[in-house]
Structures are given as C-alpha cells and as structure tokens.
Structure 1
Amino acid sequence: MPSLKLSCLAITVLAISACTTPATAPNDVEVAAQKLVGQPAQNAFKLFGRPDQGMGPSSYGSGGFYAWNRVQTHTTDEKVFVQTGVEYVGQRQTMVGIGGGGVGGMMPVSSEPIYRKTGHEENRTVIDYFCSITLYTDSKNIITEASVIDCNKKK
C-alpha cells in the first residue's frame, strides 16, 4: 500500500508541475515588446519602425494602438495556376427525346452558358515567417499592453 500512495503522490506532483510550466519560452520579439510597457510609443517606433496601422490617443481621452505585421516568404519551383478571370466558350443544351405514333424527335429543355477560367501559372509562394505585434497606449501615448503573435518561426 505505501508504494501505491507514493505513486499517487508522484503523479499528482507531475500533473501540477505540468500545468504551471510555460508551453514555450518567450522569443526575442515578445521580450522586447514587453519591455516597452510603460514607455512612450515613440520608443516602439525606434525599435520596430513605422507601424503598418494604428491610431494614437484620441482627443477625448481614450488610448490608442499601433500594429506591425511582418511576413517573410520565398517561392518554390512548384507551379500553381493563378486565376485572373473567366471567358465565355459556348452554350450547353440539354435535349429530351419526344415522339409517339412512329414519329420521334429531340426538343431542347435547357441551355446554360459555359465559362473557362483564364489566368497564368507562377511559382508557389510559401510563408516562412509571420509576426504580428500590437501595442496599446493610454491617453498620454504611453504603452500599457503588448501583444505578440507567431514571431517564433523566424529564420
């Protein structure tokens, strides 16, 4: 019985420690963004460059936000079709046979246009790296919160 209690205790300790261990360590971008909390937004512009989108604090006292989205891609030798439009190629008619009393024939019952995709082939583009950084500011343009998504796949 003592070994069963010891096993249960060991499993409990492992379960608790697994829940408190972070899944991934923060990357360099996350660390840099978190260090900006409490600093003026100008410091973020010096570090990350001009934001892709955002808005400073409003005149009526609410805070603002700034966002940076960074993507790095490469092309492969694999070709993919890029559709740029469609072109008309004709009509498709559905016919039905009619007749009786020794006389037969065909009668159209529907007609629909047929279109073909137009475009060109190009090398497939693969996303190597994506990073989204969003900083939130207070009414004095001081950073209050930082959010970083997917910056850990940098090559």
Structure 2
Amino acid sequence: MKNTGYYTIAILLILLTACNTPKESKKEFQLFEKGTKIENSNFTGTAWLNMLAAPDSLNTMYAGLVTFEPAAHTNWHSHPAGQILIVTQGEGYYQEEGKPKRILRIGETIKCLPNIKHWHGAAPNSEFAHIAISSRDKGPAQWFKPVLDEEYNGI
C-alpha cells in the first residue's frame, strides 16, 4: 500500500497529458479548480492551493496545484526530500540560490534537489500554475526570506 501515492501521481500525469488543449487554442482548459487562497507570509502576491493528494499514515508524498496571480511568487525555501514541479498553466519563473532565474512554460518539469534553496512563481503578465509534488518523510519545507525585487526582475 505504500506505493499508492505513486499511482495517484501517475494517474494525475496521464489526465494532464490526455486533457491538454493544443497551444494554438485561445481558451485555456482548466483541469482542476484553483482551491483555497493561501493566507501566509511565505508568498508575495496572491496564490491558491488545491491539495490533490494529501499525505497520510500510509504515504508521506503529497501533490498540490498551486496557482499564482501575475507576479505572485514564493519566498526562498527548500524541501528536505526535494520537490517536483509540473507546469500546467501560463508562464512563470524558477530560481535556485546562486543560479540564474529560469523561465517556465506549460509542460515543463523541474526537479528541485533536496535542501536546495529556491523560489518559483508567476511572470509579471501571466497567471501561472504548477503541480508541486514532494514528501514529508524527511520533514516539512523550510521557509526563508522573501525574494528581493532585484532577484525577481533579474534575467
């Protein structure tokens, strides 16, 4: 039963692939609802969380859809077990500490290594969403300072 999280993630990925609309389409298809507005100091701007698969006593893995309004983003943070991000909507950014910021688009996947400080969020003129997958078996995310304007705006 410990592998049920892997099956859940595999099913989610199959649904995302099967339900993706062509890039030429002007109307975006939204597979999941935005969820609940995030009300904490770990984000700049407005973001929502739809927990797709919560951890439990049998499986410490979780998957959540995070949707960011334009320019909204996380603070610097790290995950003891690492994190996978699967971009599902819009254009956004990802940056690891000490490395250049990357532009992210629909269909891209990021593998954040364990304990690597990073941030991610929406570009200034685009709503942005990704599925975040991680595990709590090594502990919760560690949150740090907000992203400076120079870091967010730098290319």
Query: Is TM-score (shorter-chain normalized) higher than 0.5?
Result: no
Which one has the bigger helix percentage? 1
Structure of higher CA gyration radius: 1
Larger RCO, structure (CA 8 Å, separation 6 or more):
1
TM-score by length of 1: 0.24
